Copies of this chain bind each other. A is one copy, B any other.
Amino acid sequence: MPLVKGRMPNRERILDVALELFNDVGTGPVSTNHIAAGAAISPGNLYYHFRNKEQIIQTLFEGLFEKYERVFVLPERRAPSLADLRQLVRLNFDLLWEYRFAYRELAALLRRDEILRERWLEVRRRGYIGFRYLIAAFVTAGVIAIPANDAVIDRLADLCWLISEFWLPNLEINGQSIDATQLDRGVVLMLQVLNPNLEPAQLSEERPL
């Protein structure tokens, strides 16, 4: 049964349908035949556009990478604020959700596909450097209220990174709903890490940071 409605080049339809199917049931059970059927084209046609399923997955990841790099833009010519962090994390959660098949199977996919692994490490390295820089900037801007040498900054960056990458998977694994409220709990955790001495009320959404 076709899954796509609008007019679109077949190559993109394939990617579109594949993403939807992967998100729905995972990459394993979805065959190239399923994808072709969903895109309302013949199996042979699919193989004109892609060598195999692996390449479709790689291409989807490239889309993820592209959007991902657009999330990690730091403000120019002014010190970053916690509001920037909150915004960044939220955008990141949106992206994780859009490509949820990817994080659900990430370790397994990277393990199986060397090309994908290399690309992932490359993108992630750049992202982490920017992120680490953001945390360091908080310290110099005085936004963070704990004694911070380089080792501490490393740890804070690791912690926040861990939350931003795994809070959503954590919610899913534990059967909790994925909505704005639940996602914001992740943001609050991050603020707790950065400002552990703040009063709880000050961490909530109502008080702009």
| B-binding residues in A (CB < 8 A) | 25-26, 28-29, 103-108, 110-112, 117, 120-121, 124, 146-147, 149, 151-152, 155-156, 158-159, 162-163, 165-167, 169-170, 172-175, 185, 188-189, 192-193, 196-197, 199-200
B contact residues around A193 at 8 Å (CB)? 159, 193, 196
B contact residues around A121 at 8 Å (CB)? 174-175
Beyond A28-B28, A108-B26, is A170–B166 a contact (Cβ under 8 Å)?
Answer: yes
Closest B residue, CB atoms, query A190: B159
- Majority SS of interface residues in chain A? helix
B112, A26: Cβ atoms closer than 8 Å: yes
CB distance from A104 to the nearest CB of B (A): 4
A108, B107: Cβ atoms closer than 8 Å: no
B107, A111: Cβ atoms closer than 8 Å: no
| Complex CA distance for A192 and B152, rounded to whole angstroms | 8
B146, A189: Cβ atoms closer than 8 Å: no
Partner of A197, one of B104, B146, B185: B146
A155, B192: Cβ atoms closer than 8 Å: yes
The 4 closest A-B pairs by CB, nearest first: A104-B107, A166-B166, A28-B28, A196-B196
| Complex CA distance for A40 and B186, rounded to whole angstroms | 48
B contact residues around A156 at 8 Å (CB)? 192
B contact residues around A173 at 8 Å (CB)? 106-107, 110, 120
| Complex CA distance for A185 and B174, rounded to whole angstroms | 25
B162, A166: Cβ atoms closer than 8 Å: yes
| Complex CA distance for A25 and B174, rounded to whole angstroms | 25
A172, B107: Cβ atoms closer than 8 Å: yes
A108, B112: Cβ atoms closer than 8 Å: no
**9 more CB-based (< 8 A) A-B contacts, given A104-B111, A162-B162, A165-B166:** A25-B111, A28-B108, A105-B105, A107-B172, A149-B200, A156-B192, A162-B163, A162-B166, A162-B189
